[in-house]
Structure 1
Amino acid sequence: MSASFASARGAAHDAAAAQHYPQGALYMVATPIGNLADITLRALHLLQLADTVACEDKRHTQAMLRAYGIDKSAAQLLALHQHNEAEAAQQLVLRLQQGQRVAYVSDAGTPGVSDPGARLVAAVQAAGLRAVPLPGASSITAALSVAGAVAQGSGQGGFVFVGFLPVKNAERAGVIAQQLAREPRCVLLLEAPHRIGGLARALAVLGARPVTLARELTKQFEEVATLPAQALAAWLAGSRERERGEFVLLLHPMPVARDDGESLRVLRLLLQDLPLKTAVRLAAQITGAARNVLYEMALACQRDGEPAC
């Protein structure tokens, strides 16, 4: 495999070597999420230059480096994962204070985002040292780019990154019902293959709200599908292959109410004499508007301090 990237290493040197890479700095390096060709030229150059490469799994990272034709000794690799991040961070701070260039990579993608790395950066900054980002592959932005789920120019613009939900069924159901079901913007979730079935069943309470599921991004069996939340579990059960790989799920924004203001007028009248939830339920029955949209209208009414609320 290393021969395949020989020209890439030469191109990396030509393109990136002119930049200054200060000593005593931590470099947060994004690595491919599946396809080895997604490495950046700057990342290739820095990984060759680094005195120490800190990583989640030394065996995984050593295999990746060798695929690019980069050789690092065992002493140049240091494990830093969720179970030892605080202790390993202090070891890396000492190496930085000695003037080393330290690269940190997670097993895949951009470190510090649902992967270890955030505590490391905090420790480095607390020591008065520099952390330098080397951007690249990210499953989050990759999924966003093909989901068509982020509305622009409206109250539902932007997105909310949640990551992994609680493992326990009751806690996960509570987060979905109390937070996700009421969030009007696009919501990004991550899930592992052994838990994707349970998450799909739990999301069914969101009914017809569209969900984009992306699995095995950048790999040979990459798959992206958009369907109602209530149909997710059945879709996954349709093929054993669909429950394999790492998953990014995007809850699409809530639909924006489009009417002549009648639903808001009715809602305001009902709110004068009824509790919020009762007013929302009756307004939905009378006008046919989506209950979740009316609920957001009522909350906005309260925030704005309108007398009818």
Structure 2
Amino acid sequence: MTNPATQRLSAGLYLVATPIGNARDITLRALDILAAADVLAAEDTRSLRRLAQLHGIDLSGRALLAYHEHNGAKMRPRLLAEIAAGRSVAYMSEAGTPTISDPGFDLARAARAEGLAVTTAPGASAVVAALTIAGLPTDRFFFAGFLPNAAKARRRALEEVAAIPGTLVFYESPRRLGAMLADAAAVLGGAREAAVCREITKKFEELRGGTLDELAAHYADAPAKGEIVVLVGRGTPKEAGEAEIEDMLRDALATMSVRDAADSVSGALGVKRRQVYQAAMRLSAEGDAPDPEQDA
């Protein structure tokens, strides 16, 4: 049987997901790529060396380059040149999946812009890991990354995502957690369900759930440590008024049947279909909007 590590990789950029805590949370394919790539790039080369040592990957004889937000503009052309010359470049972020709140985004985007091959070895992600354990809805979610440091800018950013109909996911630093939760409670509503996930997959992993008011009060007096993901459950949608329903129905009825318009509007506004269907029938009968079925 051929050892995958001895097989030559085709030229391209390989985005390799690495553990977010527990060093064993890495895929076999990721290890194969790290063992076979011509050039290794990492946000933190120390993390790459430790991971390679733990899994028995020989790094000797290959270029090992640091690529991070402070040297990206200078290092990016060199990595792209390596790929253009026919070599394989494996990039790993300090932890988790590259390009997610990570300088690898600019590298991947530049590679694609130059027509170079870009592929992924998927794996650990703090965003997905937190969603799986938090107990909040996962059918829809929005990842907002790190919020701004300044309080005014942070509240403005929270206002921008307040109406998103899904679970909100943020990365946060321990020293800002209390202030972030207080601002989230003020902007998003203190009764909104939330969770703080800390040190996921590590020895001191912790999950604390509650309302934003409860979590803000707790972390105001109990500073956290480690890597943190904050999740906020979807808010209660504003109840649509009769005028809003009718306005949307008029637009929908211009191109849809009564039945389809009712389905579309009730789904968009979260209103019971029967109520919307009755309004659609009335508008159609009054001639406020054409019924495509009658025009056919």
TM bucket (normalised to shorter chain) is 0.7 to 0.9
Query: Do 1:86 and 1:120's aligned partners in 2 also have CA atoms closer than 8 Å?
Result: no
Please give the secondary structure, in 2, of the residue aligned with 1:179.
helix
Give runs of aligned pairs for residues 1-309 of structure 1, distance below 5 A. 22-73=9-60, 76-150=63-137, 152=139, 158-176=140-158, 178-205=159-186, 206-237=189-220, 239-240=222-223, 243-255=224-236, 267-268=241-242
Look up the match of 1:279.
Answer: none
CA shift at 1:96, angstroms?
Answer: 1.0
1:107-144 per-position Cα deviation (integer Å, ceiling 9, x unaligned): 00001010111111111112221011100000000111
Tell me how far apart the structure 2 counterparts of residues 65 and 172 of structure 1 sit (CA, whole Å): 38
C-alpha distance in 2, partners of 1:211/1:69?
A: 41
Q: Deviations over 1:192-240 (max 9, x none)?
A: 1222122122122121000111110000111112110111122224545
Using the alignment, how far apart are the partners of 1:271 and 1:38 within structure 2?
49
Say whether the 8 Å CA contact 2:20–2:96 is kept in structure 1: yes
Amino acid at match of 2:86: G
TM-score by length of 1: 0.73
* Counterparts in 2 of 1:151 and 1:35: CA distance versus 1, 3 Å: closer
How many residues are treated as equivalent by the alignment? Answer: 249
Shift in alpha-carbon separation, 1:22–1:207, aligned structure 2, 3 A: same
**1:152-172 CA deviation, whole Å, 9 max, x = no partner?**
4xxxxx111111111111110
The Cα RMSD (Å) is 2.8
Three-state SS of the structure 2 residue aligned to 1:112 is coil
Contact 2:9-2:36 within 8 A present in 1 as well = no
Contact map agreement 2:5 2:36 (CA 8 A) in 1:
no
SS in 1 for 2:169: strand
**Cα pair 2:137 2:233 within 8 Å, conserved:** yes
Quick one: percent identity of the two aligned structures?
38
Give the partner amino acid of 1:126: A
List 4+ stretches of structure 1 deviating above 6 A.
269-272
Higher gyration radius (CA): 2
Distance 1:236 1:125 in 2: 42
Scaled by the length of structure 2, what TM-score is found?
0.76
AA aligned opposite 2:161? L
**Contact 1:40 1:136 (C-alpha < 8 Å) held by counterparts:** yes
User: Equivalents in 1 of 2:143, 2:231: separation in Å?
Assistant: 9
2:18/2:92 contact within 8 Å kept: yes
Q: Deviations over 1:54-96 (max 9, x none)?
A: 0111222212221222232486211111122232121011111
Partner-residue secondary structure (3-state), 2:137: coil
Q: Which amino acid aligns with 1:180?
A: V
* In 2: Cα distance, 1:297 partner to 1:142 partner: 29
In 2, distance between residues paired with 1:215 and 1:22?
A: 37
Q: What's the CA shift for 1:255?
A: 3.3
Distance between the aligned counterparts of 2:59 and 2:42, measured in 1? 13
Residue segments in structure 1 that go unaligned for 5+ positions in a row? 1-9, 153-157, 258-262, 273-295, 299-305
Contact 1:90 1:123 in 2 (8 A): no
Which position in structure 1 is the counterpart of 2:278?
none
**Structure 2: unaligned runs, 5 residues or longer:** 247-268, 272-282, 289-296
Asked if the contact 1:27–1:103 (Cα under 8 Å) also holds between the matched residues in 2, the reply is yes
Question: Per the alignment, in what secondary structure is the counterpart of residue 37 of structure 1?
Answer: coil
